């Protein structure tokens, strides 16, 4: 039975970055620190997430042991509370102004007491950590609370829960409650650790406005294998959703005297844009950085619309513009620009000032000559990996020059590649000029990060957006003016209702689309809205006030960056006052956790800075050591850095290293998981991919794996082994319009350099190369390494990849398509098919033709040779021994009919 796709127009995936507390204990047997309960309770009320992480620990040893409580939380989240309960005594974390926290910290140091710690970890997360000594047989409860307003990016909100208990937990439970008055249009979950057994512990229930996701695995389900104490839980759990939208003035929601106004109208046309790409090609960009930049730029140029105008400025010591002026994004111009981008080489210093002046002058000249289309949006996108070293090198002077040159006419977006560039410098440069800054992390997916960022700003919908409310109705309103609304994003305004406000709150949102002024009117009944937020199971009360405070603080922190020296103190005082009133750990506050007498070190929890990625905010006294989870001491410097070993004699892992030893793995190990809530649909078990082998003896080197192994129509044993010898450029391997699937690929020398599978419904593209797998949906791309577990289910399609590196794409009434990066003899990408009876009579392509009218001619020669007629063409098929790449390397020897094309 086919299940219809969910009715989502903007597919906003809310990525709620939450986390599961990870107790950094090795195993119960090693340190006797037993985590017997671990719970996460997340309540998402109108995009505002309130998460409580609770861990209960007992020391089963007969001596004092040390336990460490670790939680990874989103960088944009604010910690609001932390406490420890030891022997019935509660030790709270006190949030204070930084100076006051330092004073209390010094007092705690003198007494030998200790406090919490926050440090940056990974791209999106920060790690909170606190250690405490636990007496023999004693119990301790840790509880951390944090809050965050989920931001819509590329049409998605995302909640990420980090699951890493590092031992079996008797009571492990996650509960995620979502309440969206607008209506939930799309909901899915994804995991990088889920097995079939664990999937049975996951339940999702949903109605129009509410959803509840619960994960409650038993001890048996958590085990890697029966009888072992190692847990399989180690990875991410993600919740994504979107809400119903219309072409309107948005949704105003009211609770306990405060309101929030969400605005992301559906159905607006995309406005043309004028974009100048400013690309750093200095010597520090050499190697993989410049290669990935070229790759991303070529893809971005392909995504330009015909009505767009563009140009390229590349710079090192000097700056060069590709064309004298902006040019239309015609097919001819885009082709030339891609060739130019492909030739960019890295060499020389970094002169950011001159490059930016050149970019602004290009836009200014076009503006003066009235060559910028009416109703278009002008953008500058700067990519650099280092601080200025040539020309004007004073960051403050560069910021001043750029601000004066742009003069509020254009939006500047700054991308910092790696960590050698000052992110603070780029952030101010962008915020001064109606844009934003983004870190691009040096990794195998850097090109995808660049492409995803471009997609965020690729489709402007509305400019000069202004929100208006009656002055006698509201007060303390957050930002009300925004330069540009981009597709897939959302504008948010919050405020407080006045005591004598009217029964109906009305709002007017105005802006400009192309050459027309648009005005949206919307209103909300105060009493009805208040009543809608009265269900205690799905919301935490007074959340709207905290949402307002959170948003106000975040906007004040941004204003502080671009404010003048005279304006900055007042803004800081306002943000500090709100942080203290609402108990938020922000860049202006710190939290001190007092502990029982006798602790040997003290720490303070502070919000890490973006530029301080490798330096944890660890403040220690005395010997400078940080005890982690149990037995031995670990140097704080090493313990705070990913991928570094502990001290001598400490065998514990400090970084998850994803490796796969084939002799340790079953033929098809349990995959990872991504489930979506949809009704009346049952997924059958994974298809049986085992094939009978003819021998288990060592395989001669002359026997190779074919490009493709095809199950023959109507046959259960015989297979067709196909090798493609003659091909130029991309080829159409499979096309079945009734299945809504297309498979293309390209050969280089003797192996596929890439294979791409495109599905029509749902709209998903999967492209594999020997390096990685890239899944694109809703213009958002995610990269996975081969053998990285994945289990993703959406209406009509399931994607799984296990530790052997076998990627399967399957669904009800669909052909199963398998992709593999084969490492055996004849290594390279491989394609496999199952459930081929699902092909329609309209299937075509290099491989699809074998599922049309295929005729085996009677044998006229040796028994091991036959003629195969396919669509009027004869192919010689020879019975040969080949390697079955569907088995683990070195593969299994099989006998099949071999055809060369």
* pLDDT number for residue 649: 35
Model confidence at 50, in pLDDT bands (50, 70, 90)? very high
* pLDDT number for residue 552: 98
For strand 604-606 and strand 589-593, is the pairing parallel, antiparallel, or unpaired? antiparallel
Q: Residue 7 pLDDT > 60, yes or no?
A: no
* pLDDT number for residue 686: 32
Check whether the bond before 762 is cis (ω within 30° of 0): yes
Mean pLDDT of all residues in 148-159: 92
Model confidence at 505, in pLDDT bands (50, 70, 90)? very high
* pLDDT number for residue 533: 82
Phi, psi of 401 (to 5 degrees): -60, -45
- Interacting residues of 374 by C-beta distance below 8 A, sequence separation 6+: 514, 515
- Complete edge-to-edge strand list for the sheet that includes strand 516-525: 481-486, 460-469, 504-513, 516-525
* pLDDT number for residue 672: 36
Model confidence at 540, in pLDDT bands (50, 70, 90)? confident
Give whichever of 193-197, 259-263, 608-612, 894-898 has the largest mean pLDDT.
259-263
* pLDDT number for residue 823: 83
Q: By C-alpha distance, which of 123, 449, 455 is closest to 293?
A: 449
* pLDDT number for residue 427: 94
DSSP 150-211: PPPBTTBEEEEEEE--SS--SEEEEEEEEE-TT-EEEEEEEESS--HHHHTTEEEEE-SSEE
* pLDDT number for residue 130: 85
Q: Residue 77 pLDDT > 80, yes or no?
A: yes
625-680, pLDDT tens digit by residue?
Answer: 222 233 322 333 323 333 333 333 333 222 222 323 323 333 333 333 333 333 33
507-535, pLDDT tens digit by residue?
Answer: 999 999 988 899 999 999 998 888 888 76
DSSP 494-517: EEEE-TT--SEEEEEEEEEETTEE
383 within 8 A of 293, measured Cβ to Cβ: yes
Which of 217-221, 581-585, 734-738, 855-859 has the least mean pLDDT?
855-859
Q: Residue 755 pLDDT > 60, yes or no?
A: yes
Q: Residue 445 pLDDT > 60, yes or no?
A: yes
How far the first Cα of the chain sits from its last, in Å, is 37
Helix axes 331-342, 288-302, angle to 10 degrees: 180
Mean pLDDT of all residues in 527-554: 85
Percentage of the residues of the chain whose pLDDT score is greater than 90: 47
Give whichever of 490-499, 613-622, 633-642 has the largest mean pLDDT.
490-499
Model confidence at 612, in pLDDT bands (50, 70, 90)? low
User: 336 forms bridges with which residues in the sheet?
Assistant: none
2 within 8 A of 796, measured Cβ to Cβ: yes
User: 381 forms bridges with which residues in the sheet?
Assistant: 277, 413
* pLDDT number for residue 788: 79
Residue 673 DSSP code: B
* pLDDT number for residue 877: 86
* pLDDT number for residue 614: 41
Q: Can you tell me the distance from the alpha carbon of 870 to that of 857, in angstroms, rounded to the nearest whole number?
A: 11
Q: Can you tell me the distance from the alpha carbon of 760 to that of 766, in angstroms, rounded to the nearest whole number?
A: 12
* Average model confidence (pLDDT) across the chain: 81
Q: Can you tell me the distance from the alpha carbon of 668 to that of 887, in angstroms, rounded to the nearest whole number?
A: 9
Which of 156-160, 353-357, 616-620 has the least mean pLDDT?
616-620
* pLDDT number for residue 705: 83
- Helix, strand, coil % (nearest 5) of the chain? 20, 40, 45
* pLDDT number for residue 104: 60
- Complete edge-to-edge strand list for the sheet that includes strand 604-606: 202-206, 210-215, 171-179, 33-45, 48-59, 139-149, 78-86, 89-97, 589-593, 604-606
Q: Can you tell me the distance from the alpha carbon of 192 to that of 801, in angstroms, rounded to the nearest whole number?
A: 10
Q: Residue 692 pLDDT > 80, yes or no?
A: no
* pLDDT number for residue 616: 34
Which of 47-56, 237-246, 630-639 has the least mean pLDDT?
630-639
Mean pLDDT of all residues in 430-436: 94
Q: Residue 113 pLDDT > 80, yes or no?
A: no
Q: Residue 786 pLDDT > 70, yes or no?
A: yes
- 681, with CB counted inside 10 A (0-12, 13-18, 19+), is middle
User: 134 forms bridges with which residues in the sheet?
Assistant: 65
> How many CA atoms lie less than 13 Å away from 670 in the CB half-sphere?
17
698-748, pLDDT tens digit by residue?
Answer: 556 668 888 888 887 665 557 888 988 877 789 999 999 999 999 999 998
* pLDDT number for residue 641: 32
Mean pLDDT of all residues in 158-164: 88
E strands, 316-368, where?
A: 319-321, 327-328
* pLDDT number for residue 32: 85
- Residue 203's CB is within 10 A of a number of other CB atoms, namely 12
């Amino acid at each position: 039975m086919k299940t219809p796709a969910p009715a989502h127009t903007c597919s906003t995936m809310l990525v709620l970055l939450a986390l599961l507390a990870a107790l950094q204990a090795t195993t119960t047997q090693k340190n006797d620190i037993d985590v017997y309960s671990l719970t996460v309770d997340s309540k998402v009320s109108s995009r505002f997430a309130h998460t409580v992480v609770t861990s209960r620990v007992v020391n089963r040893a007969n001596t004092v042991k040390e336990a460490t409580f670790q939680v990874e939380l989103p960088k944009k989240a604010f910690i609001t509370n932390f406490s420890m309960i030891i022997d019935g005594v509660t030790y709270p974390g006190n949030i204070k102004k930084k100076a006051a926290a330092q004073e209390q910290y010094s007092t705690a140091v003198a007494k030998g007491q200790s406090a919490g710690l926050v440090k940056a970890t990974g791209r999106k997360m920060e790690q909170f950590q606190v250690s405490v000594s636990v007496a023999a047989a004693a119990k301790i409860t840790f509880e951390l609370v944090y809050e965050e307003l989920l931001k819509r990016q590329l049409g998605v909100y995302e909640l990420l829960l980090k699951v890493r208990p590092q031992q079996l937990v008797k009571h492990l439970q996650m509960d995620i409650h979502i309440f969206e008055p607008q209506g939930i249009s799309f909901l899915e979950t994804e995991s990088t650790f889920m097995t079939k057994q664990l999937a049975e512990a996951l339940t999702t229930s949903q109605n129009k406005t509410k959803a509840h996701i619960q994960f409650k695995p038993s001890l048996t389900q958590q085990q890697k294998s029966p009888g072992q104490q190692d847990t399989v839980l180690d990875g991410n759990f993600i919740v994504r959703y979107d809400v119903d939208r219309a072409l309107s003035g948005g949704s105003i929601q009211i609770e306990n005297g405060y309101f929030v106004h969400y605005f992301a109208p559906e159905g607006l046309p995309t406005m043309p844009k004028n974009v100048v790409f400013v690309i750093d090609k200095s010597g520090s960009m050499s190697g993989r950085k410049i290669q990935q930049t070229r790759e991303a730029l070529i893809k971005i140029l392909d995504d330009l619309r015909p009505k767009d105008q563009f140009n390229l400025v590349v710079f090192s010591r000097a700056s060069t513009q590709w064309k004298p002026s902006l040019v239309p994004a015609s097919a001819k111009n885009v082709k030339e620009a891609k060739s130019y981008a492909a030739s960019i080489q890295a060499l020389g210093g970094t002169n950011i000032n001159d490059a930016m002046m050149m970019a602004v002058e290009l836009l200014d000249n076009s503006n003066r000559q009235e060559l910028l289309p009416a109703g278009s949006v002008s953008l500058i996108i700067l990519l650099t990996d280092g601080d200025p070293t040539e020309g004007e090198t004073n960051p403050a002077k560069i910021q001043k020059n750029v601000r004066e040159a742009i003069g509020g006419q254009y939006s500047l977006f700054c991308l910092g590649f790696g960590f050698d560039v000052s992110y603070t410098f780029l952030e101010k440069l962008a915020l001064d000029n109606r844009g934003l800054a983004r870190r691009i992390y040096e990794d195998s997916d850097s090109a995808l990060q660049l492409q995803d960022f471009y997609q965020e700003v690729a489709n402007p919908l509305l400019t000069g957006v202004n929100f208006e409310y009656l002055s006698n109705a509201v007060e303390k309103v957050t930002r009300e003016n925004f330069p540009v609304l981009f597709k897939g994003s959302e504008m948010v305004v919050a405020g407080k209702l006045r005591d004598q406000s009217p029964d109906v709150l009305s709002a007017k949102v105005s802006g400009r689309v192309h050459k027309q002024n648009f005005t949206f009117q919307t209103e909300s009944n105060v009493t009805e809205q208040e009543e809608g937020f009265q269900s205690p199971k799905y919301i935490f009360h007074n959340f709207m006030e905290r949402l307002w405070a959170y948003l106000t603080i975040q906007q004040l922190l941004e204003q502080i960056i671009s404010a003048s020296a005279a304006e900055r103190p007042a803004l800081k005082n306002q943000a500090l006052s709100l942080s203290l009133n609402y108990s938020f750990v922000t860049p202006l506050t710190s939290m001190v956790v007092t502990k029982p007498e006798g602790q040997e070190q003290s720490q303070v929890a502070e919000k890490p800075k973006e530029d301080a990625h490798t330096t944890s905010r660890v403040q220690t006294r005395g010997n400078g050591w940080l005890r982690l989870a149990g037995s031995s001491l670990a140097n704080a410097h090493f313990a705070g850095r990913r991928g570094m070993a502990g001290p001598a004699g400490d065998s514990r892992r400090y970084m998850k290293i994803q490796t796969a030893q084939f002799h340790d793995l079953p033929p098809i190990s349990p995959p990872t998981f991504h489930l979506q809530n949809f009704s009346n649909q049952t997924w059958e078990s994974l298809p049986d991919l085992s094939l009978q082998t003819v021998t288990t003896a060592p395989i001669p080197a002359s026997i190779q794996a074919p490009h493709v192994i095809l199950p023959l129509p109507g046959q259960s044993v015989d297979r067709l082994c196909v090798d493609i010898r003659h091909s130029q450029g991309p080829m159409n391997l499979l096309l079945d319009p009734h299945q809504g699937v297309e498979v293309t690929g390209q050969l280089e020398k003797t192996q596929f350099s890439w294979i791409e599978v495109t599905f029509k419904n749902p709209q998903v593209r999967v492209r594999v190369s020997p390096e990685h797998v890239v899944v694109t949906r809703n213009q958002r791309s995610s990269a996975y390494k081969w053998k990285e577990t994945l289990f993703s289910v959406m209406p009509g399609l399931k994607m799984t990849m296990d530790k052997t590196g076998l990627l399967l794409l399957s669904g009800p009434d669909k052909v199963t398509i398998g992709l593999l990066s084969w490492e055996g003899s004849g290594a390279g990408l491989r394609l496999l098919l199952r459930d081929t009876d699902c092909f329609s009579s309209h299937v075509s392509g290099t491989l699809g033709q074998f599922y049309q009218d295929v005729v085996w001619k009677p044998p006229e020669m040796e028994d091991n040779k036959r003629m195969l007629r396919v669509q009027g063409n004869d192919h010689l098929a020879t019975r040969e021994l080949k390697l079955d790449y569907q088995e683990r390397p070195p593969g299994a020897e099989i006998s099949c009919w071999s055809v060369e094309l």
